[in-house]
Amino acid sequence: MSPHHHPRAEIVVDLAAIRHNVRTLRALVTAEHPTEHPTEHPAGRPVQMMTVVKADGYGHGMASVARAAREAGADWLGVATLDEAQTLRESGDTGPVLCWLSVPGEDYDEAIATDVDVTAYSVEELDEIAAASEQVGYPARVQLKVDTGLSRGGAGAADWPAVVARARRGEVEGHWRVTGIWSHLSSSDVPDDPANANQEKLFEEALALAAEAGLRPEVRHLANSAAAILRPSARYDLVRCGIASYGLDPAPGHTPDLGLVPAMTARATLAMVRTVEAGSSVSYGHTWTATAPTTLGLVPVGYADGLPRSAGNRAEVAIAGRRCPVRGVICMDQLVVDLHGDTPPPGSTVLLFGPGHDGEPTAQDWAVAADTIVYEIVTRIGGRMTRTVIDSERPEETR
């Protein structure tokens, strides 16, 4: 690559931002210590931090995010699938890892052999894990998920007694140790939604039944990023922070300013600049028409690279510190922006989104423009874009 080469379109991830965010969240959740629950928090044991790195680290690169999070004090890493857990182990991570989504017939052997905590939702899953543990000749680490109102995965209230009884039997028989019991909130981004308190109450009841069955889990957990930040009573022994670890706001309009820093920047190289006459319409379907002579810039990135097509005519980019609105619909490989009469040279950097330090929009701005949540913006961006991982605190280690 020549020193003057500009990539067509790239994602840049700053690990220093990830470390900063993980440290900030960790300091926040260990600072206060609510004890209003019947299953009171063991005195003096700090709330543990799980950094959730599923979906390739929310699009940031799982292995490098995982390393940065561990450095910043993440006690646990969280992933959805067994494959993701295995990828973490292959990348050299040896610490506590929890995964929570499997299908019938899943191969648990590797997870058991490498001390990955697997999650069971049902008696059937526990039976499968017991068979795998028998096969491997080694006890699994199993967490149980109870559904407390999301109505997604997990054991419902009717099945919970059978699940905890089966779990206890497997423990006595040496198939596993039940290391955790957990659930997931439906509405943590709306702090005063009564669903939050309701789910906490049902979680308490589920914990009590598990204790009666003889289970003594190491960790009980309920909170994702929004609840970890906004709801101290939901922190229990461990919080599972995904989106906030990447510097993105889990509950826009509710989250206090914690100084989290977005770790991802998406940028492209301006391909072409041209002026069109008044009356010219732009892009497929002619959804935008110039009312005066207009200088347009061609940005070589589109929905096949993960930009939301629905943000056409709504999103903005920044070129040389100036906001430029997208004109017309976003195409598969390219989009058109209004340069407001400026004529930046082709080859100029176009900031699609980033931390916002140079006048650029944020991923959250794109989420608003596309009528979605920021999670979808960062997990879908990619396509043909390259991803470069940097470390602004350690430039010599840039990978």
Residue 254 beta carbon to ligand PLP: minimum distance, rounded to whole angstroms: 13
Q: How far is the CB of 102 from ligand PLP (least distance, A)?
A: 13
Q: C-beta of 242: minimal distance to ligand PLP in Å?
A: 3
| 210 within 8 A of 217, measured Cβ to Cβ | yes
Q: Output 141 or 184, the one with its CB closest to ligand PLP.
A: 184
Sign of the alpha-carbon dihedral angle for 39, 99, 14, 267: negative
Min. distance of Cβ 54 from ligand PLP in angstroms?
6
Angle between helix 62-71 and helix 15-31 axes, rounded to 10 deg: 50
Q: Which residue, 140 or 226, is less far from ligand PLP as judged by CB?
A: 226
* Cα–Cα distance measured from residue 5 to residue 322, given in angstroms and rounded to the nearest whole number: 23
Between 57 and 328, name the residue whose CB sits nearer to ligand PLP: 57
Report the nearest approach of ligand PLP to the CB of residue 80 (Å): 6
Catalytic choice (138, 284, 303, 375): 284
Catalytic residue from among 54, 58, 108, 121:
54
Distance, in Å, from the CA atom of 196 to the CA atom of 248, rounded to the nearest integer, reads 22
Active site residue 284: yes
Asked if 340 contacts 355 with a C-beta cutoff of 8 angstroms, the reply is no
The verdict on whether 246 is a catalytic residue reads no
Angle between helices 160-172 and 123-136 (to 10 degrees): 20
- Residues in contact with ligand PLP by the rule CB under 6 A: 52, 54, 100, 184, 224-226, 240-244, 250
Specify the residue, 231 or 240, whose C-beta has the smaller distance to ligand PLP: 240
CB of 290 to ligand PLP, least distance (A): 41
For the bound state, the minimum distance from the C-beta of residue 306 to ligand PLP, rounded and expressed in Å, comes to: 18
Residue in the shown chain whose Cβ atom is closest to ligand PLP: 242
Smaller CB distance to ligand PLP: residue 59 or 302?
59
Nearer to ligand PLP (CB atom), residue 255 or residue 269: 255
Write out the catalytic residue numbers: 54, 284
